[in-house]
Structure 1
């Protein structure tokens, strides 16, 4: 699209998480008028650490925000998979793009704060929970619970796994339970019983349980994540310390000790969900990004990276296409094959034998939500 057309484009981004903030930054650099509408009254990202891949970091370099992210993250050289008791299975060097760009490990909260900090003042509007979306072809109207109404030439649905935009746009089959729970905490490095000595991610695999140690040494902490098979689909389940410890029975005693020392009030406890692949991500004036388009299980560590790549690809498509309609089709053609494959791979996290222990008689694909 011509620069003059882009500058006249009014864009409403629904959601201020990874995908929304990244899309807002990328689209604002086109010269478009961008507003972000977030339902929360304040931006607060709970959870644990994530790895930002080289392609993601290069997007940040392209957008002029690399230093803001690098200042609150640690570069990492490799990812190691070990048995429950610490015997090596494989060690894979993170793919790097040149000498300057490596995978960076970062806390989710620091990540969101850094992204919010590089958006122009006044762009983000808090306390705006989307209620309805009317797609009028070349323009859409949004109504929020606080009574605000907005019209936009392009609506970007970045409102997560329970996306209202997706529901209004396409109807909604809703989130799919994976048959897993995730227990996540951030603890001081000193509380890791000597298991964190560098800036590299390690995953320990036992029967029906995976334990991740993701160092955040720039803040003298480590992200501790237990992912375990469990049939309880309650979104925020109640879990006792004994139940938590049962998931790590037989693991390295230092990992068991970390789990034993946890204060459950500081542990983020969630059933793990994704969504089935969405056939179409857009109309002529509404488009989905991030978890709203392709929420995936966390086994590949690609959720946040995919959301950010979406924002960059959407901006690229608008710059290269002759119209918004053409740009949205181009964006989907570029991104959907990639995320479809990541969704598929992420659902292959367990063996049939492991799943049958928790879901007797079921196949791996069924427990992962694929009928």
Structure 2
């Protein structure tokens, strides 16, 4: 689309998470008239750290945000996989470091710092909070959002960045519900001094035991580490309860320092989540509405690609709008570029457990996501 066409384009983004905020940044740089509608009254993230892959960091460099991202992150060279008791299995450099004109590492960041940095980079007036979407009407060349307070907004393009339980996906694309993966994730950020000497560099480490994985993501710029225990479990409640004894039991046989960290955790600071994803969505767009991030392809966290995929989606939408002749053509181009990649990531992320581990926790059966991965 021509620059003059982009400047006349109105875009409504539903959701101010990573993907929605990144899309707003990318589109605002093109001169698009963009507004983000977020249902929460305060933008905040709790829980763990994440790794921003080289391709994601390169996007921020292209958007003029590298310095802001670098200020709240630690640059990481490699990731490691170890047995539960600490014996090395593999160590590899992050893929993609040398793919750009400037060597670009993976950057480790606290989720809260990341979303604050993204939102702070948006132009004034772009973000509206406390705006929950009740319904959407697709009118072909435009779409109208109706909010729970009765207010309506019509835009040339609506970007649904409203997460794994997307209202817009359910109303326009599929009523398929999130799929329980048969696992829980218990996440917390602790001081590096409380990690019993395990914070030695900026590499991500994953310790693998039977039916449990421990993710250890240093945030040395904060003097902290993100600590994640992911374990197979029957309970599909979104926020399951856990006792200290149960938590410690999940890491029996692991490195004694991991056991000690678990024994000393502040359970009030722990974020407990049952793990869900969605099956691949066949169609991401109409002529005026498009899905982005978890709304399009929510995936399990084993590959660490959920946030990265949302950022890459945002960049791909902006690129497609510049390259195509119309919004309709741009959305088709966006899906053709991104869906094959995210379909692969969704499938690989579901292959996190051995048959023996699954059969012990789910004798004679398995969670729906594991059934789908096996087909």
Q: TM-score range by the shorter chain?
A: over 0.9
Q: What residue in structure 2 maps to residue 309 of structure 1?
A: 312
Once the two structures are superposed, the pairs formed by residues 128-167 of structure 1 within 5 Å of their partners are 128-167=131-170
Conserved in 1, the CA contact under 8 Å of 2:179 and 2:369?
Answer: no
> Helix, strand or coil for the counterpart of 2:221?
helix
Return the match for 1:218 from 218, 221, 227.
221
Q: What residue in structure 2 maps to residue 51 of structure 1?
A: 51
Hey, what's the Cα distance between the residues in 2 that align with 1:168 and 1:258?
Answer: 44
Hey, what's the Cα distance between the residues in 1 that align with 2:322 and 2:85?
Answer: 51
* CA positional deviation for 1:364: 7.5
The worse-fitting range, judged by mean Cα deviation, of 145-154 and 302-311 is: 145-154
CA deviations over 1:322-360 (Å, ceiling 9, x no partner): 000000000000000000000000000000000111000
Return the match for 2:267 from 261, 264, 267.
264
Conserved in 2, the CA contact under 8 Å of 1:359 and 1:367?
Answer: no
* CA positional deviation for 1:366: 5.4
Hey, what's the Cα distance between the residues in 1 that align with 2:148 and 2:311?
Answer: 27
The reply to whether residue 106 of structure 1 matches residue 109 of structure 2 is: yes
Conserved in 1, the CA contact under 8 Å of 2:78 and 2:92?
Answer: yes
Conserved in 2, the CA contact under 8 Å of 1:177 and 1:369?
Answer: no
TM-score w.r.t. the length of structure 2 is 0.97
Distance 1:105 1:368, change over 3 A: farther
> Helix, strand or coil for the counterpart of 1:195?
coil
- After the TM superposition, which segments of 4 or more aligned residues of structure 1 sit over 2 Å from their partners? 97-100, 362-371
* CA positional deviation for 1:148: 2.0
> Helix, strand or coil for the counterpart of 1:218?
coil
* CA positional deviation for 1:104: 0.3
Return the match for 1:339 from 309, 334, 342.
342
Q: What residue in structure 2 maps to residue 4 of structure 1?
A: 4
The reply to whether residue 247 of structure 1 matches residue 246 of structure 2 is: no
Q: How many residues align?
A: 371
Q: What residue in structure 1 maps to residue 289 of structure 2?
A: 286
CA deviations over 1:4-53 (Å, ceiling 9, x no partner): 11100000000000110011111111111000000000001111000001
Distance 1:311 1:269, change over 3 A: same
Hey, what's the Cα distance between the residues in 2 that align with 1:109 and 1:307?
Answer: 16
Hey, what's the Cα distance between the residues in 2 that align with 1:19 and 1:103?
Answer: 18
* CA positional deviation for 1:367: 3.8
Distance 1:277 1:105, change over 3 A: same
Hey, what's the Cα distance between the residues in 2 that align with 1:47 and 1:273?
Answer: 16
Distance 1:366 1:3, change over 3 A: closer
* CA positional deviation for 1:174: 1.1
Hey, what's the Cα distance between the residues in 2 that align with 1:368 and 1:154?
Answer: 36
Q: What residue in structure 2 maps to residue 172 of structure 1?
A: 175
Quote the RMSD (CA, aligned, Å).
1.2
Hey, what's the Cα distance between the residues in 2 that align with 1:33 and 1:68?
Answer: 24
Q: What residue in structure 2 maps to residue 348 of structure 1?
A: 351
* CA positional deviation for 1:246: 1.0
TM-score w.r.t. the length of structure 1 is 0.98
> Helix, strand or coil for the counterpart of 2:153?
strand
* CA positional deviation for 1:362: 2.6
Conserved in 1, the CA contact under 8 Å of 2:134 and 2:147?
Answer: yes
Unpaired runs of 5+ in structure 1?
Answer: none
The reply to whether residue 188 of structure 1 matches residue 191 of structure 2 is: yes
> Helix, strand or coil for the counterpart of 1:357?
helix
The worse-fitting range, judged by mean Cα deviation, of 275-284 and 98-107 is: 98-107
* CA positional deviation for 1:368: 5.8
Once the two structures are superposed, the pairs formed by residues 355-366 of structure 1 within 5 Å of their partners are 355-362=358-365
Hey, what's the Cα distance between the residues in 1 that align with 2:83 and 2:174?
Answer: 43
Conserved in 2, the CA contact under 8 Å of 1:12 and 1:154?
Answer: yes
CA deviations over 1:54-84 (Å, ceiling 9, x no partner): 1000000111111111100000010000000
